[in-house]
Chains A and B, each alone.
Chain A
Amino acid sequence: MAPSYRLIDYRLRPSKHVERIMLCEAFRRLQFHVLEDYQYVGLGSVFFADFRLIHRSLGISRMFSIEKHANHGERFEWNKPYSGITMMFGETEQRLTDVDFSTPTIIWLDYDGPLVRSVIGDIRTVAHSASHGSILVVTVNAHPRSPNEDGADMLDQIRSELGNERIPAKTDLTSLRGWGLANFYRRVGNSEILDALSTANGVREPAERLDYEQLFNFQYDDGAKMATFGGVFFDREKRAAFDACAFDRLMFNRNGAEPFRIRAPKLTLREIAHLERQLPLPEGTELDFGPMPQSDAQHYIELYRYLPTFVPVDLM
């Protein structure tokens, strides 16, 4: 398969755009350290959309982009929007070990592919080394699959990719259809995070142990079903700092199995303008939908603060 950045302009995916802005809004609430002291690690591709947003809205300048397509190295270096970004060429499983996780870190492992063993290895590496106040976000492709040429159905394929021992005994093919694979990936990813953290805590003094709280459980479909999950690591004894972040006040915050599904509404500019004039809606008032489909309008008012106004423009 060609690298995905050759196929799609990442900026044009509306749900992805919403997700990026929501993540940023959550990061802005971090109370464990001064935001500027964080480093950001991402898989920036050539567009660096997440890097631009994180730098501009959070003021983080120490940034690392892991990139496996090293043979286009020059192009990546050339496209770097800021000098604070260091390119790290290679596979994530090799380069993650070079990241200094003792620095507070926001890391977004935004993969194109499904949850496989190497991704689990990456997740475990981060969960095992994360320090107080750090954020881990993982995005994987969770689109249901057809049987392959060997006749292996989706469940067989997933068993091969993840190992039988990671598949809960009750998992069946039906439970993986539709958004099922996305739910399943979040569940497996989350249990790996907790297990790797528990292993790390096992050799820490009680006062040095960390807790993990899930903050994100996004699902969206810009052409393929995607799952994003993640959360924050913090000193067990500093739970008050976690509470002070008030992540639970964010309407997209999800700390369990129930996802927040991003549905980008399909409305005309005129319809959008009509809705926005009424927002935020004063309590007790009814929204005037006009002739537009109610479900799209509902999705719009849920997401309007995070949606691109029309085409996202990069201001260089």
Chain B
Amino acid sequence: MAEQELMKIKVEPTKELFVYILTRDISHQAAIIELLDNSVDGAKRVAADATDLSEFWVEIEFDSEKFAIRDNCGGIPLQVARDYAFRFGRAEGMERIPGSIGQFGVGMKRALFSFGRKYVVESATVKDWFRLAVDLGKWMEDKDSWDFELAEYGENDGTLEIGTRIEVTDLIDDAASQFSLEHFRTRVENEIRQKHGYFIAHGLSVRVCGSAIPSHQWQLIADDQFAPEYRERTYNGSDAPVSTRIYAGVGRSNPSDAGWYVICNGRLVLGADKTEKTGWGWESAEMDAASGTPRYHNQFARFRGYVLFDCDDAGRLPWNTTKTDIDPDDTIWLDARETMAGIMRPVIDFLNLVDSESDLPEAERRLTAALAAAQTTAIADVKNQQKFRYPTSPRPPRPRTVNIQYRKEKERVETLQEAMGTTSARDTGDAAFEEAYRRHVEDE
């Protein structure tokens, strides 16, 4: 056999990989959220008290021509820009921001690449400033160097306003068309309201295309009759312990709000989840089986659960790199999830009880009535660890009843309903029974 020449395989990443492939992992919406994460981290870094962000603001604007984000959140230090923010991957030895939400060092570049081809990043801290202008087309042509040239920088003599401004122009087609749609803007607003609601509630001002995002608090029904379940636990095992807080209970009936919410360092990672991921549909497929947890169904539209993870080391939190989901294999997450499944059960049982009241005449639906009148409270105001509780006043004894159920064509039911002057199919069925009873039993 003839001796073969050794073949070299190139394994170095190419710029195309970063620009065209990595950007596919993230939606434009999520990319905007990541840029906002950077601003929030900046604010947390310079704030005297991380729970008071009222002096900080972020403004996001986009249309078919450009994308821009501007903030006064402390600015990007020159050294961070040089060694980290514009490098590919997070540099070793990079000092971390305690309790930060931006961990992976790819967010900003990935976001910018997915929007357009020309960027300007300007930033000033109390100490220094820089201005970076990148033309992606030119950068891609240069096959040797991966560096962005940081040509303009200096010390802040106190005349520059502190903060960061990022502008992207020469937008990629799909970004340009989405950025011009109100539909997209509404989604971004809602996503920020949900995902950064915690920071907005702590004073941060966020505007999207000129309109201020209102704060959004996670709420549960809690008053003198109802109490949500609340548990705390701290996972040690590192110099940065992870603390968890789990709340479960009921809220206003709304299928789009129902489910579990997972929050890492104040940032919502997973919202209104109704899948197996958060413990729905375990062990038993039956909705009202006594063990396991049922699959989500609209009779649980009042279910609310919140799991908050906090850690100074953002790397120990159970989220994925785009912060759009949990990391399903994280050990702390797996443990927390067992607890979640356990404390879901009494809430589910209660909601089944409420659902069964729909067979009763309106005046006897006590839990339904109590729920409609109950008050909601922000989870931050639930301070003491406690069990889920609901009013259990005994019902007056009633004669034994059975359910009668039958199906009839809708059209005919409606016609009968009109004729009898009843207001629902249930009442019509009820009236029809009474009518038959009177005719065949009482009149006999």
Contact = CB atoms under 8 A, between A and B. Distances in A.
B414 interface: yes
Contacts, number: 86
Contacts of A170: 189, 211-212, 214
A49 interface: no
Contact of B189 (A69, A160, A169, A194): A169
A187 interface: yes
A3 B410 CA distance: 10
Interface stretch (B145-153, B251-259, B274-282, B306-314): B251-259
Interface in A145-193: 149-152, 156, 159-160, 163-170, 187, 190-192
A251 interface: no
B371 interface: yes
Contact of B256 (A2, A151, A164): A164
B190 A167 contact: yes
B2 to A, nearest CB: 51
Contacts of A187: 182
A169 B372 contact: no
Interface in B357-390: 362, 368, 371-373
Contacts of A168: 186, 189-190
A100 B414 CA distance: 34
Interface in B191-229: 191-194, 208, 211-214
Given A71-B409, A194-B181, A163 B193 contact: no
A202 B190 contact: no
A195 interface: yes
A48 B189 CA distance: 42
Contacts of A239: none
Given A2-B417, A2-B418, A150 B372 contact: yes
Contacts of B211: 169-170
Contacts of A190: 182
A198 B190 contact: no
Interface in B399-419: 409, 411, 414-415, 417-418
Contacts of A255: none
Contacts of A151: 252, 371-373
B414 A159 contact: no
B264 to A, nearest CB: 21
A70 to B, nearest CB: 9
Nearest to B173: A202
Interface in A198-218: 198, 201-202
Nearest to A164: B256
A1 interface: yes
A249 interface: no
B233 interface: no
A72 interface: yes
A6 B414 CA distance: 11
Nearest to B258: A160
A3 B411 CA distance: 8
Chain A interface extent, by class: 20 to 34
Contact of B414 (A3, A156, A191, A202): A3
Interface string B267-298: 00000000000000000000000000000000
Given A6-B418, A170-B211, A165 B254 contact: no
Interface string A1-18: 111001000000000000
B372 A72 contact: no
B72 to A, nearest CB: 22
A148 to B, nearest CB: 9
Contact of A72 (B183, B254, B371, B411): B411
A194 B182 contact: yes
Contacts of A192: 183
A198 B178 contact: yes
Most buried by B among A3, A149, A167, A195: A195
Contact of A169 (B214, B252, B409): B214
B256 A163 contact: yes
Contacts of B214: 169-170
B174 interface: yes
A71 B254 contact: no
Contacts of B417: 2
Interface string B163-193: 0000000000010011001111011011111
A165 B177 contact: no
Contact of A2 (B183, B189, B257, B414): B414
Contacts of A164: 190, 194, 256-257
Given A164-B257, A170-B211, A191 B186 contact: yes
A71 B212 CA distance: 51
A195 B212 CA distance: 23
A191 B192 CA distance: 19
A194 B183 contact: yes
A159 B191 CA distance: 15
A159 B182 contact: no
A149 B372 contact: yes
Contacts of A156: 252-254
B254 A198 contact: no
Nearest to B255: A160
A210 to B, nearest CB: 13
Contacts of A166: 186
Contacts of B372: 149-151
A121 B82 CA distance: 49
Contacts of B415: 2
A268 B191 CA distance: 55
A187 to B, nearest CB: 7
Interface in A137-151: 149-151
Given A160-B256, A167-B190, 13 more contacts: A3-B414, A149-B362, A150-B252, A151-B372, A152-B254, A164-B257, A165-B190, A166-B186, A167-B186, A169-B214, A170-B189, A191-B181, A191-B183
12 contacts: A71-B409, A149-B362, A150-B368, A150-B371, A151-B252, A152-B254, A160-B255, A164-B194, A164-B257, A191-B186, A194-B183, A202-B177
Question: Which are the 5 A-B pairs with shortest beta-carbon distances?
Answer: A151-B372, A195-B183, A169-B189, A191-B182, A191-B183
Interface of B: 174, 177-178, 181-184, 186-187, 189-194, 208, 211-214, 252-257, 301, 362, 368, 371-373, 409, 411, 414-415, 417-418
